């Protein structure tokens, strides 16, 4: 290859540029030709497709005449038609063709193409930096074209709401400088997050998300534990606070500037939309209501995060969100064009408003009562622990009397009087109304000040004798076992 080992560098007085026309010059398969061209430019196939192939014809950055000829020969040898022309730093033009937005191409190439009949004089073009569309004939000032507007007239005719093109991208090839000014923002489609490949891994899979959720679960539990101690006297307030935490913890964190909950931040993850941008509160709210759907699918909705193309769980698919690795996302974004946020169609919004409304309605009438009931039961159990402690303390003297009776006579006492302790009502406390001995079993009855799950119910201390020692176990015929087993020990 004529210039295969030649290094191309930028020169201050560069005066020639090479344009890839988009045509091929030999019988090779087109796909193989463009793959070889991408290798010459030292670009990955996906980057070449997006930045060069989809924009042909495309003019490379100006270089010296020798270097331009070397580039042209190398491209032609690969099978791609290329034209090297003197470029005196003239204007560059974007071309609106049937294939879409192409270019930019140098003015020298545009004139060359018109002369050779490869570009239509009536083609719609936009001169770089002016953001105004006109015919190629008018842009080049060809004979028969209307008088070109002055710069002052062009400036006055511009739509002031249109954003100016961003600065050129940094070149990624040492041999072919492919950096070029970006087309007018209102014409550029946004770049969606790519699918993970062998060189890029943006999306977070099932196990990373699983670890993050465990951390968030511990954080939520720690916060609720603190609230339980602060508001232990008011069950209603505790229930409302727990409900608020469960509903708002994820949406507030994921729609914040961090775009992540503490668990996701610890793992280096973020929640974004389809373009890697921050999501709004209501989209985050809808996403986390969608988590309920993932639970209802026997957790298959969560497992989908390890199977879908962009590692989306079911609730991500519902809300149009993605969980990504923060550092990999930032690296990918460095090469992306900033989007015009004033363009109402620039972004895919994800979950539609009606979808969020459906989830909120389902939550209000189905999920919220269930969560509230579970929360209320949790706080009832917490409050009951203190009341059970009083029952254990008041029953201690009766247990000692029964144990002594069993040790010496092996006959269980039938009532309080047999072992010489006071009547059952004399053992009353704030929550306990009586402690009675019934055939060796110590029965504690809870009074009206006890929590509803204990009120007017009974906790039993049952003795057993083995090898001369008496041991105790708890039981009840009207109190749920899970309430007292963690507090009432044998």
**114 shares its domain with 253:** no
**31 shares its domain with 126:** yes
Domain holding 415: CATH number?
A: 3.30.700.10
**217 shares its domain with 176:** no
**237 shares its domain with 115:** no
**90 shares its domain with 41:** yes
Q: Is residue 130 part of a domain?
A: yes
Domain boundary (127, 152, 187) is at 187
Q: How many CA atoms lie within 13 A of 212 on its CB side?
A: 24
Q: Is residue 258 part of a domain?
A: yes
How far, in Å, CA of 49 to CA of 177, rounded? 16
Nearest of 139, 100, 111 to residue 17 by alpha carbon: 111
What residue numbers bound the domain in which 85 lies? 16-187
Q: Is residue 96 part of a domain?
A: yes
**178 shares its domain with 218:** no
Query: Could you list the pLDDT tens digit for every one of the 490 residues in the chain?
Result: 344 444 333 333 457 888 888 888 776 778 888 888 888 888 888 888 877 888 888 888 888 888 888 888 888 888 888 888 887 767 888 888 877 788 888 888 888 888 888 888 888 888 877 777 888 888 888 765 444 454 444 445 444 444 444 444 444 444 565 554 444 434 444 578 887 765 578 999 999 999 999 999 999 988 888 887 787 656 677 778 888 888 899 999 999 999 999 999 999 999 999 888 999 999 999 998 888 888 888 888 899 888 888 889 999 998 889 999 998 888 877 765 443 333 444 344 445 555 555 655 655 555 555 555 555 555 666 667 778 888 888 888 888 888 888 888 878 888 988 888 888 888 888 889 999 999 889 999 998 788 877 888 888 898 887 777 888 888 888 887 767 766 675 4
**120 shares its domain with 254:** no
Q: Is residue 373 part of a domain?
A: no
**245 shares its domain with 306:** yes
Q: 371-405 as b/e, with b when 16 or more CB fall inside 10 Å?
A: beeebbeebbbbbbeebbebbbebbeebbebbbeb
**81 shares its domain with 156:** yes
Contact 410, 463 (CB under 8 A): no
Q: Is residue 302 part of a domain?
A: yes
Number of domains present in the structure of the chain: 3
Rg (alpha carbons) of the chain, rounded to whole number:
38
Q: Is residue 287 part of a domain?
A: yes
Q: Is residue 306 part of a domain?
A: yes
- What is the reported pLDDT for 236? 72
Q: Which two tokens stand for residue 233?
A: 């006297």
**182 shares its domain with 210:** no
**159 shares its domain with 61:** yes
Q: Is residue 1 part of a domain?
A: no
Beta-strand pair 92-97/458-466: unpaired
**218 shares its domain with 178:** no
Helices (H), 106-186: 107-115, 136-140, 151-157
């Amino acid at each position: 290859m004529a210039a295969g080992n030649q290094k191309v560098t930028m020169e201050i007085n560069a005066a020639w540029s090479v344009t890839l026309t988009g045509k091929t010059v030999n019988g090779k398969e087109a796909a193989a030709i463009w793959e070889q061209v991408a290798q010459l430019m030292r670009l990955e196939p996906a980057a070449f497709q997006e930045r060069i192939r989809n924009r042909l014809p495309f003019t490379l950055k100006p270089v010296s005449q020798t270097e331009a000829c070397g580039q042209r020969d190398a491209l032609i040898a690969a099978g791609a038609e290329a034209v090297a022309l003197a470029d005196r730093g003239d204007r560059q033009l974007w071309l609106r063709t049937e294939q879409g937005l192409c270019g930019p191409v140098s003015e020298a190439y545009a004139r060359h193409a018109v002369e050779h009949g490869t570009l239509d004089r009536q083609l719609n073009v936009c001169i770089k930096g002016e953001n105004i569309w006109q015919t190629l004939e008018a842009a080049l000032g060809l004979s028969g074209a209307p008088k070109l507007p002055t710069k002052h007239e062009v400036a006055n005719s511009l739509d002031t709401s249109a954003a100016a093109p961003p600065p050129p991208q940094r070149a990624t090839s040492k041999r072919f400088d492919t950096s070029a000014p970006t087309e007018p923002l209102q014409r550029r489609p946004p770049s969606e997050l790519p699918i993970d490949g062998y060189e890029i891994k943006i999306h977070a899979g099932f196990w990373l998300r699983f670890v993050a959720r465990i951390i968030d679960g511990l954080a939520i539990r720690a916060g609720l534990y603190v609230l339980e101690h602060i508001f232990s006297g008011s069950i209603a307030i505790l229930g409302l606070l727990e409900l608020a935490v469960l509903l708002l913890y994820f949406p507030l964190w994921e729609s914040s500037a961090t775009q992540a909950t503490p668990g996701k931040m610890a793992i280096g993850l973020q929640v974004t939309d389809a373009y890697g941008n921050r999501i709004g509160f209501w989209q985050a709210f809808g996403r986390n209501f969608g988590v309920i759907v993932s639970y209802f699918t026997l957790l298959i909705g969560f497992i989908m995060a390890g199977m879908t193309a962009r590692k989306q769980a079911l609730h991500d698919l519902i809300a149009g969100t993605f969980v990504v690795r923060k550092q990999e996302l930032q690296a990918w974004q460095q090469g992306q064009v900033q989007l015009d946020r004033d363009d109402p169609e620039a972004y895919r919004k994800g979950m539609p408003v009606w979808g969020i409304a459906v989830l909120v309605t389902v939550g209000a009438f189905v999920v919220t009562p269930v969560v509230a009931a579970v929360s209320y039961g949790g706080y009832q159990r917490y409050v009951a622990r203190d009341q059970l402690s009083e029952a254990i303390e008041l029953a201690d003297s009766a247990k000692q009397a029964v144990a002594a009776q069993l040790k010496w006579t092996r006959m269980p006492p039938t009532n309080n009087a047999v072992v010489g302790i006071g009547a059952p009502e004399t053992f009353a406390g704030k929550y306990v109304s009586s402690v009675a001995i019934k055939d060796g079993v110590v029965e504690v009855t809870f009074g009206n000040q006890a929590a509803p799950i204990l009120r007017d119910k009974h906790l039993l201390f049952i003795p057993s004798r083995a090898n001369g020692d008496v041991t105790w176990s708890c039981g009840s015929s009207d109190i749920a076992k899970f309430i007292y087993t963690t507090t009432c020990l044998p």
